[in-house]
A and B are shown apart, each in its own frame.
Chain A
Amino acid sequence: MKVYLDNSATTAVEKEVLEAMLPYFSDIYGNPSSLHSFGRQALKAVDESRQKIAALLGAKPNEIYFTSGGTESDNWAIKGAVRASKNKRRQVITSAIEHPALLETCEALEKSGEAEVTYLKVNKEGLVDPADVKKALNDDTVIVSIMTANNEMGAIQPISEIGEIVRGEGVLFHTDAVQAADTLDLNVNALNVDLLSLSAHKFHGPKGIGLLYMRSGVRLDRLINGGHQERRQRAGTTNTPLIVGMAKALEISVRDRERNVKHMTELRDYFIGRALNEIPYCYLNGGTERRLANNINLSFGFIEGEAILMSLDLKGIAVSSGSACSSGSLEPSHVLLALGVKEELAHSSIRFSLGRDTTKEEIEYTINTLKEIVDRLRGMSPLFNIEKRTGSYV
């Protein structure tokens, strides 16, 4: 049995999405910037896609800028805002648990001396306190960026509350909504944001395409220089098929959201309930209330996460891990550490991210397989006494 539980890494392109894209590779292949009929035909598809996406986000079509994905959108929002600012000193406020696309961008701006960055702490459920945002704001603050939902442990941030504080002070507010797109309502006015990043492949669209929503009146420096595409703000030949695919994918996601969220929430809670009940020394990372419908993040005491991941893989089950070993770095997940999870348990963490097509049968198979694997690895662990079924880290 093959079970894909890594939908936060990427999702399968929906058949309907693939079919919508296909004509735009070799039949309607004109450059949307060209004046002739070939170009106009492609431009029509791009315009329609832009309108569709804007409507789904509660935005205006000219507030949607197509990019290569979430990483570019994040880079553009932060670098663009800092570089466009006339402030003498420029401060960026973000959280300690952002995606590397955001954190590495901030670090680069610190290194180059372009900005000072304040990293807000989160509580043990991974939530940013809006009061902390208020405290961190000062006259130099150019932009605040807080992710809509966390990619590792699914914490859903109080974005609209933070937006009210930040925008009330006349400061730009950006959110990386990449991980939230398939399960949360992303109306930009309800969220109260100026800038929002999305990536199509997280909601069953194609890889290599994303967008930055930029509220009318916001000015960013350009990140990509070149041609006059995207109202001169983002150069590069307009990617007609992927844009069409992203629009179709978002349309389906929003259309089926209620049903899919209900389905995934039921499976998620069933999975977490069984795992915590049936596996000793198993811990849920993150909270239960403000959590993405498709996110499960568990730590398994006395065994290492990558070994669990590889063991599951040998049984056909695909997951990801917050252990250092699986990322190629020495440190385990910065997100789990920021939650106060102990290092040894961060090394033991596994993320199971469900999809709209995940079945109960797949979940049953995964939990049953997981129990066997945890037992097997604990039998090999010098920290665990398999006869007495107890362990210790000392």
Chain B
Amino acid sequence: MYNEKVLEIFANPRNVGEIENADGVGTVGNASCGDIMKVYLKIENDVIVDAKFKTFGCAAAIASSSVATEMIKGKTIEEALKIRNADVVEQLEGLPPQKIHCSVLAEEAIAAAIENYRSKQK
């Protein structure tokens, strides 16, 4: 059901970890539903210079976290907010239908981390 790309990324995910003194941290999901995604951002002049994640979830959730954090690095927060879950799915060359919610979770985790950064700016 998973394609080779998803399995490859799941086996070798990028950006796993935490960022100390991150400028924005976003957590979405909960353990009783089976997935939690936590995204850490380092932001300079509204540009995402580093992104890391920690995920409790299935292979699709971990692969989505890896791809999404890769996609936003080097982007402005405005550009990052434009990334939709469909873009994550495209990078993964497709997800099984029941796993699409994992890509949605990645989109939401990024939005939550940026929201957290913005709330600190005020």
Contact = CB atoms under 8 A, between A and B. Distances in A.
Interface in B4-51: 7, 10-11, 13, 16, 27, 31-38
Contacts of A369: none
Given A314-B7, A314-B11, A380-B16, A304 B32 contact: no
Given A304-B56, A310-B58, A380-B16, A347 B36 contact: no
B75 interface: no
Interface stretch (A126-134, A208-216, A324-332): A324-332
A383 B56 contact: yes
Interface residues of A, number: 25
Given A304-B58, A328-B98, A380-B54, A310 B36 contact: no
Nearest to A330: B33
Contacts of B11: 311, 314
A323 B58 contact: yes
A380 B58 contact: no
Given A323-B34, A344-B32, A393-B31, A382 B58 contact: no
B57 interface: yes
B31 A307 contact: no
A303 B58 contact: no
A303 B62 CA distance: 11
Interface of A: 302-304, 306-307, 310-311, 314, 323-326, 328, 330, 332, 342-344, 347, 379-383, 393
22 contacts: A302-B56, A303-B56, A304-B56, A304-B61, A307-B10, A307-B59, A310-B7, A310-B58, A310-B59, A314-B11, A325-B61, A326-B58, A328-B98, A343-B33, A344-B34, A380-B16, A381-B54, A382-B36, A382-B38, A382-B56, A383-B36, A393-B31
Interface of B: 2, 7, 10-11, 13, 16, 27, 31-38, 54-62, 98-99
